[in-house]
Amino acid sequence: MSLSVKVLTLFPDMIRAVLETSILGRAARQGQVDYTVVDIRDFAVDKHRTVDDYPYGGGAGMIMMAPPIVEAVEATRENDDAPVLLMTPQGERLDEGLVLELLDLASGAGEIILLCGHYKGIDERAIELLCPREVSIGDYVLTGGELPALVVIDALVRRIPGVLGNSDSAEQDSFTAALAGRLECPWYTRPPDFRGLEIPEVLMSGHHAKIEAWRREQSLARTRQRRPDLLDDD
Ligand code: ADE
């Protein structure tokens, strides 16, 4: 069964362009996922199609209005158990563990809805009514939730079985179980000599056990140097 991914946004073209491309696009063409992109503006309640307004109490910046957002989610959602994500720097920080948890929830419901915030934020009553899972992709502020939503979709879709051509390469990626939370080892391909830089000899040896040992060692050394927080050495 294909997973239904629905994105609610003020910038549908930005989302569509990415979802048609590369592995995300291929996954849809192969029927492993289907994407629905909804323009929140279509759910505006006035003739000017207004979706934002000034904050009560004053202050700089515009706030996305609750009615178009809530109506857009209600019109789009097919399963009341489907997770609704609100992309916001106030949310819980995305990591591979959260990706797998979200994929589990989404697969169970057959559907996941991603809501892209814009401007200064969204009316709190939309959050109260929809009870979304608020997700941040890191401690920095972007101009909107579109890029974060695409990050989440990419991270989710590549974990759907069969989406990546060679499942071995997915298994060995950084942050997946095969390396138990370690970073990737260095990789090389042709040519064997580039501007005087050669390939580590062990990789040319044809000795599979030695190559595996070298890769494990490199991965561990790199993790220790760059991300010691990932190792529990104690
Ligand atoms: N919207 C703006 N910045 C964001 C971030 N870092 N994560 C998720 N949504 C956002």
Mean pLDDT computed over 114-125: 94
Give tens-digit pLDDT for 139-198. Answer: 999 999 999 999 999 999 999 999 998 755 665 566 665 456 899 999 999 999 999 999
Q: Judge whether 182 and 231 are in contact, CB under 8 Å.
A: yes
* Ligand 1 centroid – CA 55 distance (Å): 20
Give pLDDT, residue 165: 83
120 or 166, which is more confident?
A: 120
Same domain, 192 and 138: no
For a pocket test of ligand 1, which of 9, 87, 114, 139 has the largest count of ligand atoms closer than 8 A to its C-beta? Answer: 87
**First-last CA distance in the chain:** 43
The residue whose CA has the least distance to atom 10 of ligand 1 is: 88
Report the pLDDT value the prediction gives residue 101, as an integer from 0 to 100: 98
Q: How far apart (Å, rounded) are the C-alpha atoms in residues 28 and 20?
A: 8
Note whether residue 166 is domain-resident. no
Pair (34, 75) in one structural domain: yes
Q: Contact at 8 Å (CB) between 133 and 140?
A: no
Does one domain contain both 85 and 186?
A: no
Cα of 208 from ligand 1 centre, angstroms: 43
- pTM confidence score: 0.94
Expressed in angstroms and rounded, the spacing between residue 148 Cα and the centre of ligand 1 is: 6
Distance 70 CA to ligand 1 centre (A): 20
**Mind listing the pLDDT tens digit for each residue in 11-41?**
999 999 999 999 999 999 999 999 999 999 9
Q: In testing the pocket of ligand 1, which one of 92, 141, 152 has its CB within 8 Å of the most ligand atoms? A: 141
CATH number for the domain spanning 214: value is 1.10.1270.20
Is 122 inside a domain boundary? yes
ω into 191 cis (within 30 of 0): yes
pLDDT of 175 reads 62
- The pLDDT value recorded for residue 167 is 58
The ligand 1 atom nearest the CA atom of 143: 2
pLDDT of residue 181: 84
Q: Which of 127, 157, 187 is the last residue of a domain?
A: 157
In a domain, 28, yes or no: yes
Structure confidence by residue, pLDDT tens digits, 68-105: 999 999 999 999 999 999 999 999 999 999 999 999 99
The verdict on 208 and 150 lying in the same domain is no
* 14/65 Cα distance (integer angstroms): 21
Mutate to test the pocket of ligand 1, among 94, 137, 154 (most ligand atoms within 8 A of CB): 137
Residues 6+ apart with CB under 8 A from 121: 61, 63, 64, 88
Read off the pLDDT band of 119 (50, 70, 90): confident
- Distance, CA 34 to ligand 1 centroid (Å)? 24
pLDDT of residue 62: 96
| pLDDT, position 232 | 78
> Domain range for residue 74?
3-157
Nearest to 77, CA basis, from 137, 147, 7: 7
Please tell me the distance between residue 91's alpha carbon and the centre of ligand 1 in angstroms: 8
| Atom of ligand 1 minimally distant from the CA of 139 | 6
Binning pLDDT at 50, 70 and 90, where does residue 46 land?
A: very high
Last residue of a domain, one of 133, 157, 181: 157
Query: CATH code at 109?
Result: 3.40.1280.10
User: What per-residue confidence (pLDDT) applies to 171?
Assistant: 58
Number of domains in the chain: 2
Pocket, ligand 1, Cβ cutoff 6 A: 87-89, 117, 136-138, 140-142, 145, 148
From the CA of 211, how far away is ligand 1's center (Å)?
A: 40
